[in-house]
Amino acid sequence: MTSVTPSLPLQGKNILLGISGGIAAYKAADLVRRLKERGADVRVILTPAAAEFITPLTLQALSGNPVGLSLLDPAAEAAMGHIELARWADFILVAPASADVIARIAHGMANDLLTTCILAADAPLAVAPAMNQQMYKNIATQNNLATLKSHNIYIYGPAAGDQACGDVGMGRMLEPLQLAELVVDFFKFHSKTIALPLPKPLIGMKIAITAGPTREAIDPVRYISNHSSGKMGYALATAASALGAQVTLISGPVQLATPEGVTRIDVTTAQDMLQAALSVASNHDIFIGCAAVADYRMAEVAPQKLKKSADKDQLTLQLVKNPDIIATIAALTSHRPFTVGFAAETEQLAQYAQNKLTSKNLDLICANDVSAAGQGFNSEQNAITVYGRHSEHSLVLQHKTTLAQALITLIVEQFQNEKKH
């Protein structure tokens, strides 16, 4: 078995980088360098449009390998070059992935060297979208991305920000360093041999997770709640179960299916969630409070629907503070689980998260900026910084499924380190 040092996490890995047409193609040179720095052997395919933005010679010099340009290159195809490239790759990354190449991959087209290699390969595939914000929002592009996700293709990004065309919004390609780290994460958190069953390193471990919002009734027809979709908590439950853990999922009202192998407890209010959490926490190793719990509830729920009054323009509701579920679990003195909280913030992320870590006596806190476009509540993606008492780990913007796999692994590593001490 090849020994891989921490400084070369991609040593022995063959990465096929596909570059499609777009201004972000200029970043591909840095991406090749970043992958090579981590030990990868990189080969590059340029689409005809990409070759208008960056030269094959530049990429050949950086990668140390010939650059693929044409499906109809007689010299390369004499040895069935596209099939050999497809077999060679351990991982395929398309960055930048234009709206056009995403559409062609989604529909199984093979009309150039890149899409032909993708169709002929059984290696994992990731795409890093890069396009104008309106093109990204277009229903056709969103449908194509949904198709890729349903085919287990990884979507890395995009990010939001200023664009070359002058627009501002979602559609920027992730930075090369971010993409290189996502490739590293893939090999770190996935089984190398796809044909074998996935390893179950968490067998025997019990993890409880809260997810989704709570609803606090105002009257029989109205309630106080928030925008949480539950997707992050459900992704964590799915990842933990897939790794062999026995998972209990305490869920507020969401429109999500119960993950396979997971025990689900449905609750509505914060008080319901607290009682469920207390009933399971002491016999679980790890407790992860991912739910977005309402901070306040009505002092008294109106027994009948509150009517709008013609002579009053204002309505005053008397609210009382809800119990702090994660702090209550962290304060247990008997059979206390390793306790992980979440901090959804809109400003001063590090300061607020670290204050909560200390004030609630947590072992870890996972902080995310819900004000950032394209991540957090009701989004398919998220980015998280995990703070411990003496540690900090950043997980870059990525699909919540892959983020959950990385986060569960990180939490378990920190839990096991704590047990050693």
The pLDDT assigned to 2 comes to 38
Where along the chain do its domains lie? 14-189, 206-302+316-420
**124 touches 156 (CB < 8 A):** no
C-alpha dist (Å) from residue 100 to 20, 70, 129, 147, 196: 9, 17, 10, 14, 35
Pick the CATH number of 14-189 from 3.40.50.980, 2.90.10.10, 3.40.50.1950, 3.40.50.720: 3.40.50.1950
Q: Mark the ranges of the chain whose per-residue pLDDT is less than 50.
A: 1-6, 77-80, 191-198
Q: What are phi and psi of 186, to 5 degrees?
A: -60, -50
Catalytic positions are: 165
Residue among 190, 8, 3 nearest 91 (CA): 190
Q: Could you give the CA distance from residue 130 to residue 173 in angstroms, rounded to a whole number?
A: 5
Cα 239 to its chain centre, rounded Å, is 11
Does domain 206-302+316-420 match CATH 3.40.50.150? Answer: no
Residue found by looking up tokens 């040895």 in the block? 79
pLDDT over 90 percentage in the chain: 42
Give the span between the Cα atoms of 352 and 373, in whole angstroms: 20
Same fold, 14-189 and 206-302+316-420: yes
Number of neighbours of residue 9 by Cβ within 10 angstroms: 18
User: What is the reported pLDDT for 373?
Assistant: 65
Predicted structure pTM score: 0.55
Q: Say what the pLDDT of residue 78 is.
A: 40
> Which tens digit of pLDDT belongs to each residue from 257-299?
998 899 999 999 999 999 999 999 999 999 999 999 999 999 9
Q: Residue 75: CB partners within 8 Å, gap ≥ 6? A: none
User: Mind listing the pLDDT tens digit for each residue in 163-210?
Assistant: 666 666 678 888 898 898 889 888 876 644 333 344 567 888 999 999
